[in-house]
Amino acid sequence: MRSNMKKLFVLFAVTLNIVIGIVIASVFFLSNFPGRDRVFAEAASHTLLTADEIDFASKLQNIYNKVANLNLPAVVNISIEVVVQQQGGYFDPFGDDDIFEFFFGPRRRAPQQQKEKKQVTPAGSGFIISEDGYLISNHHVVKQANKIFVKLHNSEKEYTAEIVGTDPDLDIALLKIKEKEKFPFVKLGDSDNLNIGDIVVAIGNPFGLKSTFTTGVVSAKGRKELGINKYENYIQSDVAINPGNSGGALINVFGEVVGVNTAIISPSGGNIGIGFSIPINMVKSIIDDLKKDGKVARGYLGVGIQEVTPDIAKSFGIKAEGVLIPQVFKDSPAEKAGIKPGDIIIEYDGKFVKDTYNLRNMVAETKPGSKVNIKVLREGKEVTVTAEITKQETGSLAQATTEQVAKGAFLGVHASDITESAKRQYRLSASEGVLITGLDENSPLNDKGIQAGDVIVHMNNSKIRNLNDFLKFARENEKNKNFRLFIQRGEMVWIIAINID
């Protein structure tokens, strides 16, 4: 035994001497290495910050901390109780034993009955906007709720909430916590002041993980045509938004809520850095309606709207901006204000009009009964009219339709008068205009989406009531190369511009 211990001690001593020798040699080598100071200096320069940089980083970190501390207490986790249908079973004393069927034949089974089961599931997020417990979330978060439960940051106490009002078209719900307490609440900012590149943070409950704080920047503004909601003007950001973040707050570096996190684009269902938030200004414009009536009263102007394409802009001799008005509805606020077909709206209530979505949202957000100034381009001149906006009764600021029929050689259009038989054949609603029955192969209208049954109701500044008006216009404009055709299909009217080189 002692012999073995002695051998181990000798082995340990030899190993220790070798290690000590290596260390001494390394120190000697490094102390005489010509680039030693430069290497150590470079390493230090990569790991140390200057005093100014440390101060800046500390201030930035403090900003994030303050934003979190200000808003986390007012962002809630929302769970909902839903009623699900279940197939009811039945009791069989023989179970699945075949002995019953052996003696008595196949069993007659009683029909299974539907049973209702209530279950509570995490649904999303919300944020409190007033001390008395009003809170904002998405409509889709609570639309199936039988009951609504909310929990605050760092608390397991469960509160109950009720729906005060919803706006499915914008995907917003206004809720109210039933318990009587003084609640922490957020400050609502001005989403119009956001710029691309601005730092934003999101607070919500992704996958049920309470009070999650993520950061990013504004990637784009005014996102539309996503097919998510009827009224779209989304803020796009790269903050991490996942299932469960819906209804949560998008916040600027000043600690103000500037958006309601609503949707993501993702092939997997998880965050890939493309998230969409409803601008808080759109939400603020409907809160009073939701409190008072439980629904939103939107503004109505009463016009058909169309983008100003490059071809249309060229035919008018203007820039491709604003919104073209191909149709003004009878007895509408627009007609009473003096807006005419062919006008181009460039300004609404003092704000520049970018496109049809922009105008549609601005009109919808206008309180019924409000008077607004509308600036239009008419025959190259700016004209300002005042319209008293009324309440929208059917779905949008205007619907448009078109039906046309034509016979003749002008522009390769075959047109005819609108007869009773033509009305039945093409199911026309128009009584005036010329019916398009076909197009020549070389017609400049072939790539404009025209079809048999469309109706020409206006050409340039001339109203077309019948085939005679159409042929008269053709004679008077043989040398003209630029045309604007007002086309009606059903109840919709739109404008086509043609430039013949």
> Active-site residues: which are they?
140, 171, 246
Measure the CA–CA gap between 5 and 86, rounded to whole angstroms. Answer: 75
Measure the CA–CA gap between 222 and 259, rounded to whole angstroms. Answer: 12
Distance of CA 174 to the CA centre of its chain: 18
Measure the CA–CA gap between 475 and 183, rounded to whole angstroms. Answer: 75
Question: Hey, CA dihedral for 295, 297, 302, 304, is it positive or negative?
Answer: negative
The phi-psi region of residue 461 (left if phi > 0; otherwise alpha if psi is between -120 and 50; otherwise beta) is alpha
Q: Identify residue 161 by its one-letter amino acid code.
A: A
CB–CB of 158/150 below 8 Å? yes
Place of tokens 């339709």: 401
Cβ-Cβ contacts under 8 Å for 153 (sequence gap 6 or more)? 72, 73, 74, 75, 76, 210, 211
Question: Hey, CA dihedral for 379, 382, 383, 389, is it positive or negative?
Answer: positive
> Residue 371 is encoded by which pair of tokens?
């008077």
200 exposed, middle or buried (CB, 10 Å; 0-12, 13-18, 19+)?
buried
Residue 424: its H or E element: helix 420-426
Distance of CA 441 to the CA centre of its chain: 42
CB–CB of 493/328 below 8 Å? no
> Residue 170 is encoded by which pair of tokens?
């914008």
CA-derived radius of gyration, the chain: 35
